[in-house]
Structure 1
Amino acid sequence: MLPKQRQDQIVRALRADGAGGVKVLAAQLGVSEATIRRDLEALHEQGRLTRVYGGALAVDGGDEPFAEVSAVRADEKNRIARKAAELIEDGESVLLDIGTTAHQLAQQLHGRSLTVVTSNLAVLEELQNDEQIELIVLGGLLRRSYRSLVGYLTEESLRQIHVDTLFLGTSGVRPDGRVMDSTMIEVPVKRAMIQAADRVVLLADASKFPGHGVAKVCDPGELTTVVTEPGADEATRAQLAEAGVQVVLA
């Protein structure tokens, strides 16, 4: 992993948790404590975190703006969304995760007879006027900058429902097929979503192989299908297939 990628992961982890210790960050990223200390010093000098004894504190700035993330690899996400929409049968119930690819998928669902459950406010805005779709919005704590709902209320809502298919987002897929996320506050919600679905479809463009992520969401065996691109790392795709996961290329 390049230093810039590692440092970006450190900043994301601190934004999620507010603070992080050297030992914890080193374990999460699989590098030495000395490497983490050098990264923290460099990030402190850049003004991206506040260095404290034994670790670092997040600085104000929040998450990446939703619109900014939406513009990254937009064409690839759109192709993945179109392919994912082909996996849905009319009359089914689907659960859409947070994130911009799930929003792209929602755009493909207009006019279809479906039940859509989500904590993604961009999906709500996209589908709220479509009378063909029964739209269920989970409760929770609002993360304004990423237009999502999280926390205990979201997780509790998910324990009360069950859907046919979850369309899950990710920050990155490890070479062994583990699904990761860089925003730890989202991970318990994602895990609750997995438990609420009969099948789990991961939406991940080629940049997510390996991508970012310091917290494990699930093992490959918990996935039913991965929708990605031909450019996604072939060795990782092979690991997913070996775990019994259907890999669909958009």
Structure 2
Amino acid sequence: MTLNIVDRHKLILKKLEADGFVNVNDLSKEFDVSLVTIRKDLKLLEERKLLFRSHGKAIPVNPYITEHPVNIKEKIHTKEKNKIAVAAALTLEPHDSIIIASGTSVIEFARHIKPIEGLTVLTASLNTAIILAEHKEIDVMQLGGIVRSSSSSVVGPIGEKMLAEFTFTKLFLGVDGIDLDYGLTTTSSMEASLNKEMIKAAHKIIVLADSSKFSKKGFGRICGIDEVDQIITDSGIDDKTKHRLAELGVELTIV
């Protein structure tokens, strides 16, 4: 018996919830309808904001990120960011020389840093520099470059050249998206370029990202997951992602 459109839509959404994606060809065979019919079904469901179509399949949400100003982003997932920041501060050791990139997660991290013997911080974030400058025991270095008003952070070749002159024990990196196949991304190509130089300059790469950042993509690719040593995130991360990160050899800290 051929399914009607309502039943097809219910089954498509059920499969989407269970598997994380649906394939146009597979649905056509299973429901015994044409590819055109399935594409129309998916288009209708997308118009209702119930899924996102992509290359012969559909996924639950749009994976592509739209940039928002830092003052807006600071108000999102605040509890999760606070817990992540506390855990990140615990990784600091005496005489660490660290890079703090840009973004709201690393700004929150800066608020939880307490003076530690011999701590040196280099940062792209103007807000982070201001927060840490209150501690006379911490040596703070501000990267130079072009100031991005949306993130209150610097980008560009001046900062990239500056990074080449130093070596750091740890990099604390905030990102806009984490796709386990594609890697870490941000909404700015210039920020991605600066982040790449930060990675080259640091011994250990620590990513601070709440669980909403997973399965998302930004415009600028920073690096592959294989270049990351540790990710600190919240309990909203799903089991599939946990297992995949373990397989990739990434240390996962869940707060």
Normalising by the smaller structure, the TM-score range is 0.7 to 0.9
Give the 5 Å matches for 1:166-177: 166-176=171-181
TM-score (norm 2): 0.72
Q: Which residue does 2:80 correspond to in 1?
A: 76
Question: Paired residue for 2:220, among 215, 223, 241?
Answer: 215
Q: Which residue does 1:195 correspond to in 2?
A: 200
Contact 1:181 1:213 in 2 (8 A): yes
The number of equivalent residue pairs is: 202
Q: Which residue does 1:241 correspond to in 2?
A: 246
Q: Which residue does 1:90 correspond to in 2?
A: 94
Q: Which residue does 2:140 correspond to in 1?
A: 135
Cα distance in 1 between the residues matched to 2:108 and 2:179:
24
Kindly indicate whether residue 139 of structure 2 is the aligned counterpart of residue 124 of structure 1: no
Q: Which runs of no fewer than 5 residues in structure 2 stay unpaired?
A: 1-20, 22-45, 57-65
Give the 5 Å matches for 1:29-178: 31=55, 64-113=68-117, 114-176=119-181, 178=183
Distance 1:129 1:177, change over 3 A: same
Question: Paired residue for 2:235, among 222, 230, 234?
Answer: 230
Q: Displacement of 1:103 after TM fit?
A: 0.6
Cα distance in 2 between the residues matched to 1:138 and 1:30:
39
Contact 2:180 2:225 in 1 (8 A): no
Q: Displacement of 1:30 after TM fit?
A: 5.8
Contact 1:177 1:236 in 2 (8 A): no
Between 233-242 and 156-165, the greater mean CA deviation after superposition: 233-242
Q: Displacement of 1:214 after TM fit?
A: 3.2
Q: Displacement of 1:156 after TM fit?
A: 0.8
Between 175-184 and 97-106, the greater mean CA deviation after superposition: 175-184
Cα distance in 1 between the residues matched to 2:222 and 2:50:
20
Q: Which runs of no fewer than 5 residues in structure 1 stay unpaired?
A: 8-28, 33-61
Q: Which residue does 2:190 correspond to in 1?
A: 185
The code of the aligned residue for 1:81 comes to A
Q: Displacement of 1:234 after TM fit?
A: 2.3
| Aligned-residue RMSD, C-alpha | 2.6
Cα distance in 2 between the residues matched to 1:63 and 1:235:
27
Q: Displacement of 1:6 after TM fit?
A: 10
Cα distance in 1 between the residues matched to 2:240 and 2:102:
27
Q: Displacement of 1:176 after TM fit?
A: 3.1
Structure 1, residues 96-132: CA drift from partner, whole Å, max 9, x if none? Answer: 0100110111111133231111010010110112101
Cα distance in 2 between the residues matched to 1:79 and 1:205:
10
Q: Displacement of 1:177 after TM fit?
A: 6.8
Contact 2:189 2:221 in 1 (8 A): no
Cα distance in 2 between the residues matched to 1:182 and 1:5:
24
Distance 1:205 1:144, change over 3 A: same
Cα distance in 1 between the residues matched to 2:201 and 2:152:
22
The code of the aligned residue for 2:172 comes to F
Cα distance in 1 between the residues matched to 2:104 and 2:50:
21
